[in-house]
Amino acid sequence: MIALIQRVLESKVTVDAELIDMIGGGLLVLLGVRQEDTVSDAKYLAAKTANLRIFSDDEGKMNLSLLDNGLEALVVSQFTLHADTRHGNRPSFTEAAEPERANELYEEYIQEMKELIGRDKVHKGTFGAMMKVKLVNDGPVTIILRSKNDH
């Protein structure tokens, strides 16, 4: 499982020009699920995300997490994070989980995040939809997290 995490001042997701959800400051999480991923991968990655210290403290050092400052997370499913581009120019997505399984683990990740940082602090896109994601990156700070099952 891969989470591409961007520290944002704001972010929103729309489908067919309809606002699905949005956050002020916090993290935009693009989440990709692989075939081999399990519930333990989702829980592990959610804990890493919630505790990731990439927000500045009073001294300007990246030393605070979502848990420390009460910010929000917007989680968007993105199977393309598992693109294999080693052969040719057309990406292969054979390592990405099938939609039903990917959605189960996407929801598991979101549920775990809600338990860690608060139900009202976790927002999400629409699984499987063609979404437009807008963000104002803060920094910019972009981090890639991988579950223990992702190489």
Kindly report the length of the chain: 151
Q: Which of 14, 38, 49, 80 is catalytic?
A: 80
142 tagged catalytic: no
CA 9, CA 88: separation in Å to the nearest integer? 37
Measure CA of the first residue to CA of the last residue in the chain; give whole Å: 9
Element (H, E) at 69: helix 66-69
Helices (H), the chain: 39-51, 66-69, 99-117
List residues with catalytic annotation.
80
